[in-house]
Structure formats: structure tokens, C-alpha cells
Amino acid sequence: MHIDIRDGKIWIFHNTTEHDLAAEGVPKEDIVLGLYPPEMRQFTEFAIS
């Protein structure tokens, strides 16, 4: 797993684990899927930046 914390949000860049941070109680609006290009993040249910 490769994550960073930027401006109070958790950025996920790589996750090959079974753990889902959203399922662990982290609100989806505080998670950015950094593994997707910025123009694709708008189509997820997570934060875009």
C-alpha cells in the first residue's frame, strides 16, 4: 500500500491489500484515489483532490 496524507485527505496511490479504507470508517470525501488520473476521479464516489 502506498498512501500519503495531503491537506487532511488520504491519497491512495497503490493498494494491493485486502483493506478498504472507506470500510474502516474513513469518510469517502476524505479519500482521494491518486492511482487514477485527475480527469477520471470525478467518476468515483471519492474526493477528486
* Domains of the chain by residue range: 2-41
User: 2-41 — its CATH code?
Assistant: 3.30.310.110
Say how far apart CA 40 and CA 1 lie, in whole Å: 21
What pLDDT score does 22 carry? 79
Q: pLDDT tens across 17-48, in order?
A: 988 887 788 999 999 999 999 999 999 999 99
Residue 48: predicted pLDDT? 93
Mean pLDDT, residues 6-22 taken together: 90
Whole-number pLDDT of residue 30: 95
